[in-house]
Structure 1
Amino acid sequence: MRVFMYFSTLCASAEDLEGEGESTLPLRLDDTGGTEEINEISGADPFVCTTQAIADIVILVDGSWSIGRLNFRLVRMFLENLVSAFSVGIDQTRIGLAQYSGDPRIEWHLNAFTTKDAVLDAVKNLPYKGGNTLTGLALTYILENSFKPESGSRSGVPKVGILITDGKSQDDVIPPAQSLRDAGIELFAIGVKNADENELRAIASEPDNTHVYNVADFSVMSSIIEGLTQIVCERVEEQDKEIKGESTGQETQGAPQDLVTSEVTARSFRVSWSHAPGSVEKYRVVFYPATQGGRPEEAVVDGTENSVVLRYLNSLTEYQLAVFAVYTSSASEALRGSETTLALPMVNGLELYDVTHNTMRARWSGVQGISGYMVLYAPLTNDQASDEKEMKVSDAVTDLQLEDLTPATEYTVTVYAMYGEEASDPMSSQQTTLPLSPPKNLVFSEVDHNSAKLSWEAASRKVTGYRIMYVKTDGLKTDEVDVGPVTSWTLNDLKSATEYEVAIFGIYDEGQSEALSGSFTTDPVPEPLDLQASEVTAESFRVSWGHSAPGIVLYKLTWAPYDGGDTKEVSMGSTH
C-alpha cells in the first residue's frame, strides 16, 4: 500500500513565529537533549498495524512559516508515532518524504532506507524549510516524482494519502487532489487550528466521517494518531484484497504508447497516443514549461479518445508532457515526451519612406490573429538612447507617420506584432532624416572698399531667420549677425582690399541648417578727387581735393621738394 502524508500551512509574520506553539504541549528532555511528548493517556499502548499487507508511504510535509519551529517539533513527533505503527522495511512498508513551501523538494525516496530505525532517524532530523504555501503545486509534484518505479514505488501496492494542514492553501488544491484520487490514491485530510474544513472535505476521499479529521491545536494531534493508524491499517488491508482480486480478473491494464505531437503553432499543439490496453475510463495529459518553473496543467479526455489539442500555451517554449491512462481504481505509468511551440508570427516587409527632416512614414505587411502592433523608434546614436518613443496601434493599422524627429539623424524603427500582452520577435529597419534645408545661390553685389551686399534664395517656408558668419581669409576673429527671414543683407565696416569668407545658415525651430558658403574681396579705398594747389607763397601753399567715397575718416598728405630734399607728411580728419 502507498500511503501519502501531507502537511500544509499558511504564511505567518515574524511576530507570529516568536510565540506560536510555545507551551502548547507538555515537553520533557530526553537523555540526548531532545524533547518528547508526554503521553496524555497513561498506560495506553500505542496501536500497531499487524496486517500482512504492505504499503508505500510517501509523506509530504508543508514546512511553511505559519507552523513555527516549536510546532514543527510536534509534527516530527506525530510522524514518529505514525511510522512506528507500521512494519517498515525494504520488503514491507516503504516510507519516503518530501517537504515544500513555495517549491517542493525530495527529502528521501521510498527506496532510500531499508529499516524502520533509519526512517525514524530521518524523521527526527527533518529540517524546517520555511516559506509560503503552494499546496496544489506540491500535490502534482508528488504524483509526478514520488509514485514512480525509480523512486521505489511498487506496482500492485495500495495507495493512501494523508494531509495535515493548519490553514487554507494559497493555490487551488482540487484538481491536483482529484488527480491523486484518479491515480488510485486514497486521501485522508487532517486539519489543525484554523484549517478550512470545506477544503479538507474537497481533498479527502469519501466517506468524510472516516477520512476527515479536525483538531484544535498541534498539542492534541496525538489524540487522533491511534484512530488514524487503525483506519489506515484497515484500508491498507481492504485495498490489498481489492487489488489482488482485480489482478485475477480479465481486465488488462497498462500505459498508453507511441506519443506523437503535431499541428504545432505558437500557442498550441496536438498530442496523440496509441490506446492503453483494457477498459480505460479517461486519459489525463499533464503539461508544463520545461525551464520556466510554471505550474503543471492538465487536459482530460474520454477513454475512447487518443488525442487532444493543448491550447493557450506560451510561444517558443518547451513543454514536458505526461499521458496517463486512468482505470476504475488506478492509473497507469506515464507516457512521457516533450514539444516546443513555435515563435509568434512576426511583422515582415517593413519599409521606411517619405522621409523629411523631422518625419518619416513606416509601413509593413499585416499579420493575422493579432491584437495590435507596437512601434518603437529611437536615434541610433548611443547618447540619445533615452529618446526612444513608443506607439501602439490597432491590428488594422499597417502604415503610420513618425513625427518630431531630429534632422540629419539615423533612426532605428522596430515593429512588434502583439498577442495580448505577448509580443512577437521584432522587425527593424534604419533610415536617416534629411538635414534642414540651407539657403541657395549666394550672390555678392555692390562691393566697395568697406561694404558688400549679400543676396540668396530662401531656404524653406519654415525658416524663421538666417545666421550670417564672415571672417577675413587670413583672420582669426569671426563676426556673426542674425537676421530675420529676409533674402539679402549688407555687411558694413569692412576692411578695404581684403578677402572675406561668408557662411549663411537657415534657422528653424528644430535647429540650424547646413551652411551656404562663398567669398568676396573688398575694393581698395578710392583716391581723392580733383587735387588742387592754391595760395602759393615763397614758404607755403594750400592743397584742396574732393571726397572720393563716403566713410573716409582720415587723409594722409605727403610732400617734398621736386629737386630733392626731405619728405614731410600730415594726417587730418575727413572734415578738413
Structure 2
Amino acid sequence: MLAWTALGLALSLRLALARSGAEPGPPATAPQGDLLFLLDSSASVSHYEFSRVREFLGQLVAPLPLGPGALHASLVHVGTQPYTEFPFGQHSSGAEVQDAIRASAQRMGDTNTGLALAYAKEQLFDTTAGARPGVPKVMVWVTDGGSSDPVGPPMQELKDLGVIIFIISTGRGNLLELSAAASAPPEKHLHFVDVDDLHIIAQELRGSILDAMQPQQQLRAFEVTSSSFRLAWPPLLTANSGYYVLELVPSAEPGAVRRQQLPGNTTGWAWAGLEPNTDYDIALVPESNERLLGPQHLRVRTLPDETGPERIVISHARPRSVRVSWAPALGPATVLGYHVLYGPLQGGAAQRVEVPAGRNSTTLQGLAPGTVYLVTVTAAYRSGREHALSAKACTSPGERSRAPPLPDAGARGP
C-alpha cells in the first residue's frame, strides 16, 4: 500500500510539473562546477557577429544541467571595462540562462581582454559573486581574436588556479597566441569557427565542458613542459578541516625534496624551475584531525629542454628570394610553431612569416637584389616561452640593364 502511495505521489508531481510548464531539476548525479562565459562585446565585433555568438551560447547552455546542485553559469562582457551580465547562481536552469544570454546587449568600447581576464579570475573565486569553493572552474572565452592589452599573464594566472580554458575564435586570431592561451592540449580546447558555423561545434564543446566538470578522484598532472607542470586533485579537505603537504622529489635524487604546505581548500598547484627530461615523484598528503585520508602519489616526467632552432642555413639565393632552413628545436611536442622575422640589415621595414611546427624551412620572397638581410628564426613553445637564433642572408645581384654601345671615336659620318 505504501509503495502504491509513493508511486501515486510521484505521478502526481510529474503531472503537476507538466501542467505548470516547470522543468525538473538536474539529476542527483549531475556534475558541480562554475562555468564562466567571457564574451567579446567590444566595438571590434560587428552587431551581426555579436548576435550570432549570443545565439550560439544560448543553444550551448540550454541542455546543460544548470541548477543549485549542479552547474552555475555567469556571463562577463569584454569592453573598455568588464561587465557582469549575470553572476553565478542567479539562474537555476538552462532555459533561464539561455534567456538571459539572448537578452544581453553589446557593451561596445575597447577590447581590454586582459583587464576582463583579471576580473573573471576574481568572479570565479569570489563567494560574493556566487562562486563556490572546491568545485571545478571552467571559462569559455569567445573572441574575434584581437585585444587592446596583454592576455598572456592574466590567462596564466587563471590556469595556475586550476581553471580550464576553452577558446572560440571567429577566425581572425593568432593561432600561436591563442594556442598558448587555451588549456592543453589546444586541439581540444581551441576552436576557430566562422560565426555562421558555430553550431557545428556546439555538441562537441558541450561534451568537453561536462568532461572538465567531472570531479577528479586522483592526483593528476597536466600542462607539462620542460621546466614545469601543474597538479590538480579533488577537494578532499576544507579550509577548516586540515591542510595538505605536497612533496616533489627527483627520482634520481631522493634527498632533494621540495615541500609545500597548502590550505585545505586548495585543489591545485604549479611546480616550476624543474630540470628538463627528468622524472619527479609527487606525494600529496592530506593532514586532518577529523578523518584519516591516505596520501596520493604520482610520477611525472618533464619534457626535453626547450632550446631554440640551431644551425640556420641560407641557400638558393636569388635576386629576390632566399631559402632559410634550420635544425628543428628540441622538445617537438611542446613547439607551437616558428616565427621567421627578416628585414634589410641597413635598416627598413621587417616582415614576419609563420611556419608550422612540423616544418623547418621556408622561402623568403619579394626581396631586393644584392641586399643583406638579418633573418631571425624563433621557436614558440606552449609554455609561452620563445627561443631565437639569427643569421645573415644576402640576395644575389640582379642583371644590370645593358647600356647602348658608345660610338667609335674614329668613325666618321656620311
TM-score by length of 1: 0.35
Structure index of larger Rg? 1
Instruction: With a CA cutoff of 8 Å and minimum separation of 6, indicate the structure with the bigger relative contact order.
Output: 2
